[in-house]
Amino acid sequence: MAGSALRRLMAEYKQLTLDPPEGIVAGPISEDNFFEWEALIAGPEGTCFEGGVFPARLVFPPDYPLSPPKMKFICDMFHPNIFADGRVCISILHAPGDDPMGYELSAERWSPVQSVEKILLSVVSMLAEPNDESGANVDAAIMWRERREEFNQIARRLVRKTLGLPT
Amino acid sequence: MEPKDEEIMKQQREIEKEVCDSTPLVSEKISLSCLRTEYMGDDVFSAKIQDLLKKYKFIRRTRPDGNCFFRAFAYSYLEYLITNYTAYQEFRKLAESSKDKLVELGFPRFTLEDFHETFMEVIKRVDPDCTGAEGSEKLQNELHQIFNEQGYSDYVVVYLRLITSGKLQEEAEFYQNFIEGSFTIEEFRHQEVEPMYKESDHIHIIALCTAIGAGVRVEYLDRGEGSTVKAHDFPEGSEPKVYLIYRPGHYDILYPN
């Protein structure tokens, strides 16, 4: 069928498997349902999240890629752009007009030529460089800005937790 | 914002969505005089509709989902092409080569290909050379069916949006002059052209018509002065192949006498 979300998701999965970007693994949780994926994201090197492996879920709408998926971390996270319940809040996950955080004009938005890979790469950049202007987690945003060492300590504890090490 | 306003906005959106979903993506041809009933008691519009009826007989409605210009344009232009084999072939060549051009302009090949493939499939399905004796009526039905199948219809819209965006980038210096506010051409393309459901303005129309080389005449049914409907040809001075009616916020297809 033409214009099929399923066809596109299968193609993206194949592409991500053949040529995976560094530090990212992603694919459907079960081959029976291509609309729910799990992703594992390695904390970027040289940041307080380095060494961690953070699991997340992606849920795709029936009209994907016309509309973007939703993304949620399923491990404990503490980050200015991640809600307390794990939802990721970055501009590429929103179409223009759908603007809960008042993103800047120049911020990258969802459009049908974006892809899962682009989203995951944006999330990696987000982990490395939080955007404290659009605070999904205000406490984290303030701590990141004003008490960086304390923020880094929490991040390092989360890293150990994702690895199953004592915190 | 007060939570109350948010609630009202949410309801408003729900109503809009309901109206939207209950309209077919592209309707059958309807007698243009149906607009008379729609604007009964509205003197300004009634006079203008009377004027419009001198030139046009039918209207074909499109779903008011923000994609109406692109959908109406694609439908109407293909409708013209299925009756004009030379123009069809030229367009098919242009469509075929458009992918490489967009890749050169920096669009990601992987996701672009998906839309291009479907776009080409639609064009091939209405090839005037493959119909045999039944001729254009069969093609017309095929076209109508394709455009009311969301998967195909929306992918055609996406691809035209990408062609439009590509044109804006290719001639960024020229189009920058048309952009209001503080948008750069880059921001405008990503925010106002490429995403689905974003409404079209003159700049979208000019860029798309120029990229494809197809003339479009738009008749403006609005509250502007006078009792005649003002028409505008894009690109200026071209011979129109596609006729559209614009009512504030929405485009439908027109059929001249």
User: With 60 as the cut, is the pLDDT of residue B1 above it?
Assistant: no
Instruction: Convert the pLDDT of each residue in A66-93 to its tens digit.
Output: 999 999 999 999 999 999 999 999 999 9
In terms of pLDDT, which residue wins out, A24 or A102? A24
Residue B132: band (very low, low, confident or very high) from pLDDT cuts 50, 70, 90? low
Q: What is the chain A residue with the closest CA to B182?
A: A105
Q: Tokens for A109, please give them.
A: 């938005």
A4 vs B contacts (CB less than 8 Å): 151
Closest partner CB to A2 (pick from B121, B184, B198): B121
Q: Where are the alpha helices (DSSP H) in A19-167?
A: 116-128, 138-146, 148-162
Asked whether the predicted pLDDT for residue B148 surpasses 70, the reply is yes
Task: Count the domains in chain B.
Answer: 1
Query: Hey, of A111, A116, A121, which one would you mutate to test binding to chain B, going by the most B CBs within 10 A of its CB?
Result: A111
- What is the number of structural domains in chain A? 1
The yes-or-no verdict on residue A18 having pLDDT over 80 is yes
Instruction: Tell whether ipTM is more than 0.90.
Output: no
Asked if residue A153 is part of any domain, the answer here is: yes
Q: What's the mean pLDDT in B119-143?
A: 86
The verdict on residue A118 lying in a domain is yes
Q: What is the pLDDT of residue B3?
A: 54
Establish if A124 belongs to a structural domain.
yes
Query: What pLDDT score does A3 carry?
Result: 55
Q: What is the pLDDT of residues B89-111, one digit of tens each?
A: 999 999 999 999 999 999 999 99
Segment A18-25 shows an average pLDDT of 94
Residue A167 included in any domain: no
How many interchain CB pairs under 8 A, A with B?
Answer: 73
Q: Which of A19, A104, A113 to mutate to test the interface with B (most CBs of B within 10 A)?
A: A113
pLDDT of residue A147: 95
Alpha carbon A56 to its chain's center: 7
pLDDT tops 80 at residue B5 = no
In a domain, A25, yes or no: yes
Distance separating alpha carbons of residues A52 and A159, to the nearest angstrom: 4
- Separation between Cα atoms, residue B204 and residue B200, nearest integer Å: 6
Q: Each residue of A123-167: pLDDT tens digit?
A: 999 999 998 776 799 999 999 999 999 999 999 999 999 998 887
Q: Which residues of chain B lie closer than 8 angstroms to A7, CB-CB?
A: 114
Q: How far apart are CA B9 and CA A87, in angstroms?
A: 24
Contacts of B107 in chain A (CB under 8 A): 113
**pLDDT tens by residue, B173-218:** 999 988 988 889 999 999 999 999 999 999 999 999 999 999 999 9
Residues of chain B above pLDDT 90, percent: 80
Tell me: pLDDT of A98 over 80. no
- Segments forming the whole domain that contains residue B93: 3-256
Is the pLDDT assigned to residue B16 strictly greater than 80? no
Cβ distance of B118 and A2 shorter than 8 Å: yes
Instruction: Check A95 against B112: CB less than 8 A apart.
Output: no
Q: Residue A108: which pLDDT band, with cuts at 50, 70 and 90?
A: confident
Phi/psi zone of residue A41: left (φ > 0), alpha (ψ -120 to 50 degrees), beta?
beta
- Residues of B with CB below 8 A from A114's CB? 111
Q: Cα B33 from chain centroid?
A: 22
pLDDT at A148: 96
Inter-chain contact A111–B195, Cβ cutoff 8 Å?
yes
Query: DSSP assignment of B143-202, as one string?
Result: HHHHHTSHHHHHHHHHHHHHHHHHHHHHTHHHHHTT--TT--HHHHIIIIISSTTPPP-H
**CB proximity list for B41: less than 8 A, separation 6 or greater:** none
Measured distance CA(B109)–CA(A136) in Å, rounded: 33
Is A122:A82 a contact under the CB 8 Å cutoff?
no
Give the sheet arrangement for strand A33-42, strand by strand: A24-30, A33-42, A53-59, A70-73
Q: What is the mean pLDDT of residues B1-24?
A: 73
How many of the other CB atoms lie within 10 Å of CB of B53? 15
Contact A114 B198 (CB under 8 A): no
User: Nearest residue on chain B to A3, judged by CA atoms?
Assistant: B151
Question: What is the token pair recorded at A25?
Answer: 């693994």
Distance, CA of B198 to CA of B181 (rounded, Å): 17
Residue B85's contacts (CB-CB under 8 Å, 6 or more residues apart) are: B128, B129
d(CA B206, CA A55): 46
pLDDT at residue B215 in the model:
96
The whole-number pLDDT of residue A102 equals 64
User: A75 with A161: CB under 8 angstroms?
Assistant: yes
Q: Could you tell me if residue A130 is inside a domain? A: yes
CATH number, domain containing residue B229: 1.20.1300.20
CA distance A117 to chain B (A): 11
Selecting among A5, A26, A89, A90, the annotated active-site residue is: A89
Say which residue, B42 or B22, is predicted with more confidence: B42
Q: What is the pLDDT of residues B51-93, one digit of tens each?
A: 999 999 999 999 999 999 999 999 999 999 999 999 999 999 9
Q: Name the helix (H) or strand (E) containing A25.
A: strand A24-30
Residue for token digits 């006729």? B243
Work out the pLDDT band at B131, boundaries 50, 70, 90. low
Average pLDDT over residues A14-39: 94
Q: State yes or no: is B65 an active-site residue.
A: yes
Domain with A129, as residue range(s), is: 5-162
Q: Using the predicted structure, report yes or no on whether residue B113 has a pLDDT greater than 70.
A: yes
Question: What single DSSP character describes residue A79?
Answer: -
Average per-residue pLDDT for chain B: 92
Q: Report residue A57: phi and psi, to 5°.
A: -110, 145
Residues 53-112, chain B, touching A (beta carbon < 8 A): 107-108, 110-112
